[in-house]
């Protein structure tokens, strides 16, 4: 129970950081490859303009899963699911960091494998032993987060499609949840 509550708290923080992590904060190690979020980064031509690829949520999930499992992670079946209605615009993959021999190394290796797979490295944000790395490919933006330094061992990969259609779905979901 305690582990689950901690995960929810960290996941909520990551979601807030993902939602608010635009052009401010963090360090820009990616130079001009770093994105600033929003529909301007996606471009009106979609994947062709932003990275030459039209990726589906299933393809993004497969790339994350392949990189993460190749780096020594197994998926945590208790990870947060993608909200209903956003399945084509968002991917969430949570590693069971407690089962990894070295979660920090597995995280670094996963990010490296994604980079070799065409994901462009953008901003990195590090604070209090946690690291969040932004990567982009096509119209997709991925937040790879490592919170494995303390007692709570958690590694998550959350990707979202930045097309105007998906942004409209995200906004509608946010508005719906504000009313709940």
Query: What is the reported pTM?
Result: 0.72
Query: Greatest CA separation found in the chain?
Result: 46
Residue 70 lies in a domain: yes
pLDDT band of residue 177 (cuts 50, 70, 90) is: confident
Which uninterrupted H or E stretch holds 45?
A: none
pLDDT tens digits, 38-72? 333 333 333 333 444 689 999 999 999 999 999 99
Domain with 97, as residue range(s), is: 50-179
- The answer to whether the CB of 146 falls within 8 A of the CB of 105 is no
Classify residue 83 by its DSSP letter: P
Domain count, the chain: 1
Structure tokens at 68: 């993460």
Contacts of 154 (CB under 8 A, 6+ apart): 6, 7, 10, 11, 94, 97, 145, 147, 148
Residue 26 lies in a domain: no
Residue 168 lies in a domain: yes
Structure tokens at 79: 């990870």
Specify the pLDDT at position 53: 63
Residue 5 lies in a domain: no
pLDDT tens digits, 5-14? 344 333 434 4
Residue 90 lies in a domain: yes
Residue 16 lies in a domain: no
Long-range contacts at 126-132 (CB < 8 A, ≥ 24 apart):
131/107, 132/14, 132/17, 132/18, 132/21, 132/26
The answer to whether the Cα torsion of 57, 58, 64, 65 is positive or negative is positive
pLDDT tops 90 at residue 23: no
């Amino acid at each position: 129970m305690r582990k689950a509550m901690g995960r929810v708290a960290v996941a909520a923080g990551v979601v807030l950081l993902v939602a608010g992590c635009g052009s401010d904060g963090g360090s820009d190690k990616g130079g001009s490859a770093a994105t600033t979020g929003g529909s301007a980064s996606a471009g009106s031509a979609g994947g062709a303009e932003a990275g030459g690829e039209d990726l589906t949520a299933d393809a993004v999930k497969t790339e994350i899963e392949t990189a993460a499992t190749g780096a020594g992670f197994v998926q945590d079946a208790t990870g947060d699911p993608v909200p209903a209605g956003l399945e084509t615009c968002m991917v969430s993959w949570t590693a069971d960091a407690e089962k990894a021999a070295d979660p920090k190394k597995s995280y670094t290796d996963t990010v490296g494998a994604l980079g070799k797979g065409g994901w462009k490295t953008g901003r990195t944000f590090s604070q209090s032993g946690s690291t969040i790395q932004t990567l982009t490919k096509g119209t997709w933006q991925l937040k790879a987060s490592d919170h494995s330094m303390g007692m709570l061992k958690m590694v998550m990969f959350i990707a979202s499609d930045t097309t105007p259609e998906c942004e409209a779905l995200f906004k509608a979901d946010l508005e719906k949840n504000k009313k709940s």
